[in-house]
Amino acid sequence: MPHGAPSLLAPASVPIDPIVRLSAGELASAIRRKEVSCVDTMSAYLDHIARVNGAVNAIVALRERDALLAEAAERDAELARGEYRGWLHGIPQAPKDLAMTKGLRTTFGSPIFRDNVPDVDSLVVARMRAAGAIFVGKTNSPEFGLGSHTFNEVYGVTRNPYDLTKTAGGSSGGSAAALAARLLPVADGSDFGGSLRNPAAFCNVYGMRPSQGRVPRWPSADVFVQQFGIEGPMGRTVSDVAQLLAIQAGFDARDPLGLDDDPAVFAQPLDVDLRGKRVAWVGDWNGYLATEPGVLSLIESSGLATLREIGCDVDAALPAFAPERIWQIWLAHRHLAAGGGLLAHYRDPARRALLKPEAIYEVEGLLAMSGPDVFDGSVERSAWYHALSSFFERYDFIVAPTAQVFPFDADARWPKEIAGRAMDTYHRWMETVVPWTLAGCPVVNVPVGFNDAGLPMGMQLIGRPRADLAVLQLAHGYEKARDWVGTRLPGWVAA
């Protein structure tokens, strides 16, 4: 078992405190109305974490109970004085371990940063803190966020609450597993190659990759190049996802590529008439994407059927652009952004020895590129964007599988083959998310149900660039028709 085992087996049944069962929106309302205290909320979550987290390993760097209860008491005292910080007032949070948290251990999943304690918050963390969140710890992530499977040499592997022998996905696997196991009411994450989408699909929750520039990034040394790793929200309801996005989004002058739209729009009701919306189903791109048997049929029989039930017109269709070209564009930009960020560690022999093979692959891919390779990749990316723009003239939304496989063995590094076809890189098995990352589209994963083995799956709802609200409205309409999250908890969690 190369990535470590859970410290305890999940009990046959774990009862859920009524506070822990609430959605983040319900909990926020109850706290604001003083129907539930912040201290009671913190106590309920810490008790549940103590019972469950040892098996799932979603939350790491957990803080001391007394300190957390003292912070919760301060939030209660603020409410008693008529002071309300915002939607997250008194709500337990655990930022992803790729996000810097002032005074709280932040390792990036790497032994290089095993003892790193930042003296500043990253921008999204600062915004959540200002909105009243209390940080109980961090959520686990793979080393430097590389790979859609959450394991590292610092904290070990995060396991899927629906089957502890399986992966929770990644790189926001700790966030997704914490939501599914009811260890957090809402969660943040980040996404380059599906990291807010894949774990949401694997853990039966919602995850959103916002449009490029929607959530500003700071600090970041490569602000003009890093257009791929995007921070965003995850939740057990679409409304919770939208409410957290309203806190995360909004212009900040330190990000030169950020959007300046008013984020308050995401905190408004999401109900709209979806009848007649045109939806393109890309599936496996006519067999191009290797896909595990059962994935497409589940999405078609459950997910697409639900879209049709709410009035959408769904047709199989593909953009006029070869998927093989998209993959080559991806490799160039992945090496440039991911490899560039790791280059300083690679050049130091002592630190290079601590990098996992996938990190070294990205750096050496970058070093093999020339200046013209970088330019050609940018030209090709623009061509893909224009092809997709033309496609969106005919369709309002695109739907694609969120993953090409169901959750796999937690002790494997990544799927080496799918349906008899070899995967030639550590992220090839997640190629289904790549086109939308490259185009800067907003994407929400919505659950579509479970296979015969009880393993979750999801599908991506993809909108035009900067049409984040429209995608959330579609996801909300879908959720109202089919609420997999609220009706299918992990089997060992008692209702």
Closest CA to 470 of 395, 400, 382: 395
Distance, CA of 483 to CA of 461 (rounded, Å): 16
How far is it, in rounded angstroms, from Cα 325 to Cα 337? Answer: 19
Q: Which of 128, 336, 93, 121 lies closest to 218, judged by CA?
A: 121
Distance CA 489, CA 247 (A): 27
Marked catalytic residue, from 23, 37, 96, 138: 96
* CA triple 191-248-114, angle to 5 deg: 55
Q: Given 23, 110, 171, 239, which residue is catalytic?
A: 171
Catalytic status, residue 171? yes
Q: Indicate which residue of 141, 148, 172, 195 is catalytic.
A: 195
Nearest alpha-carbon partner for 52 in 112, 12, 1: 12
96 is catalytic: yes
What is the residue whose two structure tokens read 């003083």? 34
Tell me how far apart the alpha carbons of residues 361 and 419 are, in angstroms, rounded to a whole number: 25
163: β partners: 160
Phi, psi of 187 (to 5 degrees): -150, 155
195 is catalytic: yes
Q: Amino acid identity of 50?
A: A
Q: Which of 162, 235, 204, 205 is nearest to 410 (CA)?
A: 162
Closest CA to 335 of 353, 359, 351: 359
Q: Which residues carry out catalysis? A: 96, 171, 195
